[in-house]
Amino acid sequence: MKIITKTTYLLFSLIFLVISSILLLTSSWLTALQLDVTIVLAANLLLFLVTIFSATLTAKSFANPNLQASIRAVMLSFMVKFFVLAIAAFVYIYVQRQSVNLRALISAAMLYLIYTGVEVRLLLKALKK
């Protein structure tokens, strides 16, 4: 059973490109709103890479007849994605200290929700087949 297909990777790539394009096209407007576009672009790239990894990991576990393996993989992918983003946020906060851009961190958290929502929806849809 092949769950992760080329269209899944294409969809994640499309989401990455659309978000990056929107950020780049509206960067002057977002900068005027005091949002650091560079941080959000970096978070977008990081989430794209981690989502591809976690979707592949979870999809491979669905082929295992043991239900517990699938549950562990789903939990592991959630934790990996969450902690990678959290560690990146803590590193950013530690490095910037006085000039932390809270709007960029909130935007990164919203991107996390978007990528996680799309991943869960695609995996559940593929699992039903």
Q: Convert the pLDDT of each residue in 60-79 to its tens digit.
A: 887 788 878 878 888 888 88
Q: Is the pLDDT of residue 111 over 80?
A: yes
For residue 1, tell me if it sits in a domain. no
Q: Which domain holds residue 90?
A: 6-128
For residue 35, tell me if it sits in a domain. yes
Q: Is the pLDDT of residue 4 over 70?
A: no
Alpha helices in 26-101 (DSSP H): 27-32, 37-62, 67-96
Report how far residue 76's alpha carbon sits from residue 117's, in angstroms, rounded to the nearest whole number.
16
Farthest-apart Cα atoms in the chain, separation: 53
Q: Which two tokens stand for residue 112?
A: 């996390």
Q: What is the pTM of this model?
A: 0.87
For residue 101, tell me if it sits in a domain. yes
For residue 116, tell me if it sits in a domain. yes
For residue 46, tell me if it sits in a domain. yes
Mean pLDDT of 51-68: 83
For residue 75, tell me if it sits in a domain. yes
For residue 103, tell me if it sits in a domain. yes
The total number of structural domains that make up the chain: 1
Q: How confident is the model at residue 1 (pLDDT cuts 50, 70, 90)?
A: very low
